Structure formats: C-alpha cells, structure tokens
Amino acid sequence: MSPRTRGRGAAGGAGRAPGRRPAAAARPWALARGATVVPGGVRFDVWAPRARQLAVRIYDGHGAVVAEQPLEPGERDTFGGTMAGVGAGADYRFVLDGERETADPVSRWQPYDVFGPSRVVDPHAFAWTDGAWRGVAREALVIYELHVGTFSDAGTFDGVIPYLAGLRELGVTAIELMPVAEFPGGRNWGYDGVHLYAPESSYGGPEGLRRLVDAAHAAGLAVLLDVVYNHTGPEGSVLHEFGPYFVDKYHTPWGGAANVDDADSDEVRRFIVDNARYWVTEYHLDGLRLDATDQIYDFSARHVLEELASAVHAQAAALGRRILVTAETAANDPRWVRPPARGGFGMDAQWLDDFHHGVRTAVTDERGGYYADFHGVGSLAKCYRDRYVYDGGYSAHLRRRRGAPAYDVPASRFVAFIQNHDQVGNRARGERLVELTSFAQLKLAAMALLVSPFVPLLFMGEEYGEPHPFLYFVSHQSPALVQAVRDGRREEFRSFAWQGEIPDPAAEETFHRSKLDRDAAHGPEHVAVRALYAALLRLRRERGALRPGTEPVVLHDAEAGWIVLLHDGATPAPLLAALNFAGEPRSVPLAGAPAGRWRKLLATDDVAFAGAGATPDHFDHTTSDDATVTIPAHAGAVYELETV
C-alpha cells in the first residue's frame, strides 16, 4: 500500500478498514439501448439530446398505429420506459417532440428498408447449435472475403450456406462478410449502411444471419464481419435526429467524422463499442474487421479503438471464445496492433495493402495512382521482410513521408491478399487479376500470397480464377445522390488513367454482372487454379514454417526478378520458396541455404496445375556459394531439404 493510500484511509476513519474497496461482481454485458424484450413487454431506451420529449409508437402489420406511449426522461439526455403487452415482432418508431417519426438509432431490424419502422427482436429466441465452438486461432486463419448479395444466385445469408463445406474442403478456416448493416435498397457493397445494428433485410435479416453463422460453425468455419464506424451512408440515417454523432471539425472522404472526442461523445463512443460487443454476442461472430480506422479521429486520453478492442476481448473471455479485432488503415502505423502497455490500441491484426501493391506491380505493368510508389519485386521483398514497404520513407504519390517501422510486430498480425473488394471493385471496370495477368502469373501471385508469413485473405472466386468483374453498385433512391456517385467515381479514377466507360453504379445490370459465374469454375484452367490453391493451403497446414508468424530469411534480386524465402530452422526440415517474376527462366542463387539434396514439394508450373512441368524435382546444394536452382519464367516452387 502506498503512503498516499495509507494516509487517505486514516483520514477517512469511518470504521472501514483501509485499502481498496472490494470489486463489485461483474455483470454480463447486454445491449442497453434500443428495444429489449422483458417479462410482460418491451423496454425502450434511447439517447436523444436533440429532443425535448420522446414517445414510442407501435404499428400493426399494415402500418396503422395501434398504441403510443411517452418515454420518461433519464440521466444525460436519455429517455426510457417499458410498454406492456408488446413483444418480439412488433413494429415501432420513436416520435420526437410530438412531430418527427423516426426509426430507432439502435434498431435490431429494419424489415421495410431504411425508411420504414423498426422491429422488436428477441436475441434469445434463436436455437443455436454451436455451444462447443471456440473459434479459430489467428495463426490458423485462412480468410475468405465475400459479398452476400453477389456470392450466390439467391443473394442472401441462406444462399451462402450450401458453399460452406466446399470452402472448408479447400482449406479456408474463416469467411469474412462485407458489411451487412441495413443500407438503402437491395444493392450495395454495404459501406453505405445507416442502421448499424440491423442485419440487411434483403439478405434475410437477423434470423438469416444467425442461420449462416450457426451453419458456418458446424462446418468448422469462423465468421468475421466487416463493420464501419468512420461514417454512415448518405441516405436514410436517423442518427442526426437524435444527437451529435458526427462533427465537422475533422474531415473524412464521406463528410464529418464520428464524434468520439468532442462534447456529447461519451454516448457516441458507447454506440460504437456496444455495436462491436453486440455483433460478437448476439450473433456469435468470431471477429470484426474495422473499415478505414485511420478516418476515426480521436485525441482523447484513450482512443476509442483501444476501448473497443479491450471491450471485445473482455467479452470474448466472458463467452469463452476467440474473437479477433482487425483494422483496415492506410496509415502504416503499428500502434494499431501493438499492446496498450506499449502505446498501442491492442488490435489483433491489420490489413496490409503494401503486400497487394507489391505483388500487383510485380505481375502487371500497372503504375498509375498509388501503384506509382511500388516497384515490383523490390517492394514485395521488403514487405516480406519488414511488413510495410513504406515505414517512414517518402511517398511520391502522397508527396510526404508515410508509415513507421513495424519490425517488432509479429507477421501473424498482418492480413495479406492479392485481391479484395477494394482492389478489384475500386477499379474503373472491376477487373479481377485473372484479366490482368497471364495464367502463369496468376498462379505465381497465388503462391506469393500463400508462402508469405502473413494471414492470407482470398476474395470470393479467386480460388478458381473467377472471370466476372466485381463492380461498384448502389440502389439509392435520390437521383441527385446517384449522379453524385457517378461523378465521384469518375473523379476518383483520374490518377489511374484507366480507359473506357465506367459501368453505371445504379444500374441493376452492374449488380448482376458482379455475381459469381460458378459455371466457369469447371473450365480446365479454372480447375487447375483451384487445385493449386488447395495444394498450397494443404502445404500450409502440413508445414508449420508456412503458417503466419514465421520469420523467413528473404533473399532477392530486383533487377533479375526473383525472391527466395528461406526457412532454415523449419521442422521437420528446412523449406525454401523460390519465386521468379521474370519473363524468362532464372538461375536463382541459394547462398545461405543448408547444404544437401532438396526435394520439390510443389511448383506452379507442375502438370497437375496445367503447367509445363519444367521445374526441377530435385537439386543438390553443396557448400559452395554458387549453387542455384533454375525456376521457369513466371513460376514459383517450394522445396524441402531431404532428411537422412
């Protein structure tokens, strides 16, 4: 006990023994805002500093008002009350100052889209079957990102379920859903969500999402969800009716920033942190991917992202499950994934755009926009070795320095990819990598990802070379807003110098063109690509040296166009991956590799993957410094040292 504490106890002298007060028993977390089913009725709670009075109005199934009750003012601009005789399934709106009807800002369900009433949901009514599920460790993650609306013909949560077994067979261990918060209409990427607690009604609403998560766990797959806290969509939000959820003192690409450090920010922070806890608790989700976290501006003593990560991890411990929080950030800032004790936010992982850009410039001639800062093999090799390509160096594209070193951060805290929704869909015509490279280069890019020391993420259809584009699409109701989206897309693409007409984001055809062409998966080259992904993922499972978090020695020659990743201390035997990005065969030097006979485990040009089979099955490496292995053009191979 410190002298200060001892003195304070003596001065208090009210018969209580000096020392700390016994901690109160922890209460299980439950969502306190919105509509909560209670015995005999429903409890309504809302924060509304912009209202003088507030009531709740109940509707029948035809939109007629059947009941109304005022809510009592509470502390710090809250209103609350219990309405008897109401239960799950009731439709309701809040009435502000006797005039304005709005949906609940914490609505669990918007069955009539963003402008309709909210619906009461009982989160305990679903019969879960995943009681034994505990999640997937970060080092075992193979993430598969998908968009619910375009992944299946049905375009629903239930439409995903028939494909889960095939993904697990491939080697995927987690699916990651693009945002599913209620958005306007039935066609959207999800980043225009405005009801952040309500699963999209056109996808199947709350019950549909629960069925998908339960089925995924039964198939051995974790489910991650992309969530957006830096903005809400431009159409249908009710948050501004209730309080200052956003402020203009910070600017984001979508307008004002989330109010997490200004007046009245406590409840906004609660709205965000509770939303994260809500998804992992009421929907049994295994993790969250936070969109564009560098656009959340917080200069308070404790960053809201640290608060969120801590709250989710505490909830994970209470639930007895692994739950991961992953950040997307363009800042190349390792604070996101450093522990709070070292000044970080304590997140579990971070998306690594630099890896994508390094691979893209190694297998294509793309140099417009942000690709101007990347230089193919040299950039990719630095990423393998140092995590970030830009870790404090000058960016010509941004005209400023970018990033900070992350040598101390384990590689398993970075999620790498060669395609994702952004890097495909934010092209003018949504081309996938299969349209931008040769067949050999496509397979080489896959190997570059799956021999990396990072957590790999695949974008839906990537595993068989999906030919359909993934385009940007919306179904906004406002013609002026639709035109603004069209104009914004054209302006965004200027620095890339992409040619041709941009597909209309509001056209229904644009959405349908983005659906997966599953018939294509049966073509010979597509079958070969899937076989390669399956073989590489199997190799990752069988050889621990290829799992996230390992630290290979990285050798490369940027001019010659090759990279070698050497796992000298791997068990049961050393491994090396040799990648040749050049358009002709390369004799790749192996200085530093252990001497002995090396056996090929897999090569991208193997006949099994529709290649020529030109990669040597074995090579002998003596102690001389000039030992080499010849790798065909645009090919990669994994070798293992034969044990005696």
Instruction: Looking at 171-327, list the stretches that DSSP marks H as alpha helix, in order from N- to C-terminal side.
Output: 205-218, 239-242, 265-282, 304-319
Say how far apart CA 60 and CA 92 lie, in whole Å. Answer: 9
Tokens of 622: 């003596």
Q: Are 518 and 465 in contact (CB under 8 A)?
A: no
The answer to whether 625 is a known catalytic residue is no
Report the 10 Å Cβ neighbour count for 549: 15
Q: Select which of 328, 348, 463, 640 is catalytic.
A: 328
- Nearby residues of 487 by Cβ (< 8 Å), 6 or more positions away: none
Say how far apart CA 41 and CA 537 lie, in whole Å. Answer: 51
Report the 10 Å Cβ neighbour count for 46: 24
Q: Which residues pair with 517 in a beta bridge?
A: none
Pairing of strands 287-290, 222-227: parallel
Quickly list DSSP for 608-631.
GGTS---S-SEEEE-SSTT-EEEE
Q: For residue 574, give the 3-state DSSP assignment.
A: coil
Q: Are 150 and 515 in contact (CB under 8 A)?
A: yes
Q: Select which of 158, 282, 291, 306 is catalytic.
A: 291
Nearest to 42 by CA among 5, 96, 94: 94
The answer to whether 291 is a known catalytic residue is yes
Q: Are 294 and 333 in contact (CB under 8 A)?
A: yes
Strand spans (E) along 286-421: 287-290, 324-327, 349-351, 394-395, 400-401, 414-416
Q: Which amino acid is at 439?
A: F
Instruction: Supply the residues annotated as catalytic.
Output: 291, 328
